[in-house]
Amino acid sequence: MYLLSMCDKSYIVQILLIIKTFFKIACAVVPIIVIIATIINLFKAITSGKDDDLKDTFKITVRRIIGGLVVFFLPTILSAALNNFVSSESTTFLGCFESASAEKVAKLKAKEEAESEAARKQKEAEDLRLQQENERVEAQRRAQRKVIFEEARERFRRNQNSVSIANGEMFTPETKRIIEAHANDFNYRNFNQVMNQYGGMQGYAKHIGGVFGKYYGKQVPGVECASDFQEISEYVYGWMYLIGFDYYNGEKYCKWGGECGGSQAAPDAFYPSGVKETGKGLSSPKSDFDKLIAGTKKLNMTTNCNWSVDMVYYKAGLFGGPGQPSSSASFRSMGNKYKVISDPRDLQVGDIMHFFRASIDRNNPSTWNNWYHVAYIGEVNKTEGYVIGYDGGSYFTNNKNFKWKGDIASGKMHGTKNWAAVRIADIKQTC
């Protein structure tokens, strides 16, 4: 089959045409050369008068004639030999050889060019179809993303008793998809190498998109809407989840997806099992979360409860400005300066919640002693009677979950009633 298919290739036929032309020339020239050489040799032998010269001349002449016949019948000899391998085919190599012509070469080239042009047009059509399909899918994704956040805002407008953008999940679908796709992109060993491939964290954030691309490097003024505050919370906690932060408060150390005091970590942790980041102190600068995760000052991907609150509130433009707090750990001064929320029924998104080891009077900051923890209210569902606390302490790093549910009716939050809430900004629950 391969030998026979050669006759359909213009470059093969062209080669055969050259060989065919060579044989034609050889068949015309060789007999003339044989005749001339024979006459010359015979003349020399006759003039010499020796019988031995005549015998030698006769032998040479016979060999020359045989050689000429071989040249003349060489195509037939080659065809017979090749037909032993393709005996099942009706078309012989000799037929292919004999049919080689300039006209056939031209026809085959024209056919090949037509087939190549048809293949090119087919590829262009397929590329256009794929491009249109990708554009359709991307438009559909953009529409879905738009619907997700428009539905969230519509819920805020319809029902101020339920304030949530994640609909009961830890992250919105888009953020969840991004985290699942990129949670293993890097760790502390290859972080700088990976970031360099994207031109830095700015490029990487743009690459993964979603809320990460939307807020990275953006200076956010003081947020006014609960939905925007929740989105910024998702941005900060989403990065810590994607990177795989450990917990460190200066004394206690907990592994991402592991436990406190242990060395085992989840596979997507920034610091793998057996590795701790304590030599550089607490992560910094907490007041500029974007610089922190980019490793601008030092590569230290750890957090703790008050550091996490600070990171979110600085990013949301609610800390560090004129008349704003500078640290969520300053619970007593915060209680003296801002509105205290003592009734769990009055809790709303954005309220900072402090926890104490001893019983306290929620309305009296002077009794707020033995403080040990801080979180904030990220979601509220008064219809079903609960609030969702956003928590960046060891609860977050150990369980890979920054949300816990607090019961409004019982007043028990994060396992205790010894809490006090402070409202440092009157965030609109519906916008």
| Mean pLDDT, rounded, for 64-86 | 63
Query: What is the model's pLDDT at position 156?
Result: 45
Question: Strand pairing partners for 428?
Answer: 225
Range of weakest confidence among 39-53, 212-226, 258-272, 385-399: 39-53
Please give the order of strands across the beta sheet that includes 253-254. Answer: 253-254, 246-248, 302-303
Give the residue-averaged pLDDT of 160-189: 82
What value does the mean pLDDT take over residues 325-334? Answer: 95
As given in the structure block, the two tokens for residue 90 are: 């009706």
Higher-pLDDT residue of 285, 42: 285
Report residue 89's pLDDT band, with 50, 70 and 90 as the boundaries: very low
Q: Is residue 97 over pLDDT 90?
A: no
Tokens (6 digits) for 428: 């609109």
- Cα 414 from Cα 401, distance rounded (Å): 13
Question: pLDDT band at residue 13, thresholds of 50, 70 and 90?
Answer: confident
DSSP 358-418: S---TT-GGG--SEEEEEEEEEEETTTTEEEEE--SHHHHHHT--EEEEETTT--BTTBS-
Q: Two tokens at 15?
A: 């080669």
Please say whether the beta carbons of 394 and 330 come within 8 A.
no
Asked whether the CA dihedral 386, 387, 388, 391 is positive or negative, the reply is negative
Is pLDDT of 235 > 80?
A: yes
* HEC assignment per residue over 159-195: CCCEECCCCCCCCCHHHHHHHHHHCCCCCCCCHHHHH
Q: Residue 333, SS3?
A: helix
Q: How far apart are CA 366 and CA 360, in angstroms?
A: 9
What's the confidence (pLDDT) of residue 48? 67
pLDDT over threshold 90, residue 303: yes
In this predicted structure, the answer to whether residue 342 has a pLDDT above a threshold of 60 is yes
Total Cβ atoms within 10 A of residue 128? 10
Residue 191 · residue 299 · CB < 8 Å: yes
For the four alpha carbons of 370, 376, 379 and 383, in that order, the dihedral sign comes to positive
pLDDT of residue 81: 60
Q: Helix (H, G, I), strand (E, B), or coil: what is residue 200?
A: coil
Please report the DSSP string for 43-80 in residue order: HHHHHHT-HHHHHHHHHHHHHHHHHHHHHHHHHHHHHH
Cα 334 → chain centroid: 44
The C-alpha angle with vertex 62 and arms to 57 and 64, in degrees rounded to 5, equals 95
What does the pLDDT average to over 5-16?
A: 74
The answer to whether the peptide bond before residue 285 is cis (omega within 30 degrees of 0) is yes
Q: What is the mean pLDDT of the chain?
A: 86
Query: Looking up tokens 């200066």, which residue turns up?
Result: 250
pLDDT of residue 350: 97
226 closest CA partner among 288, 160, 179? 160
**Confidence band of 117 (pLDDT split at 50, 70, 90):** confident
pLDDT at residue number 160: 44
Confidence category of residue 88, pLDDT binned at 50, 70, 90: very low
Q: What is the pLDDT of residue 165?
A: 56
Q: Assign 66 a pLDDT band (cuts: 50, 70, 90).
A: confident
Q: How far is it, in rounded angstroms, from Cα 120 to Cα 123?
A: 5
User: pLDDT category, 21, cuts 50, 70, 90?
Assistant: confident
pLDDT score at 18: 83
Compare 145 and 409 and report the one with higher pLDDT.
409
Instruction: Tell me the residue type at 219.
Output: Q
Q: Is the pLDDT of residue 172 over 50?
A: yes
Q: For the residues 29-33, what does the mean pLDDT come to?
A: 75
Average pLDDT estimate for 23-50 = 73
pLDDT of residue 11: 78
Query: If you compute the radius of gyration of the chain from its CA atoms, what whole number of angstroms results?
Result: 43
Q: For residue 404, is it left (φ>0), alpha (ψ between -120 and 50) or beta? A: beta
CA distance 319 to 420: 19
Confidence of residue 315 (pLDDT cuts 50, 70, 90): very high
**More confidently predicted of 87 and 385:** 385
Q: What sign for the dihedral angle of Cα 199, 205, 208, 213? A: negative
Span 187-231, pLDDT tens digits: 999 999 999 999 999 999 999 999 999 999 998 889 999 999 999
Sequence-ordered list of residues with C-beta below 8 angstroms from that of 109, at least 6 positions apart, any chain: 10
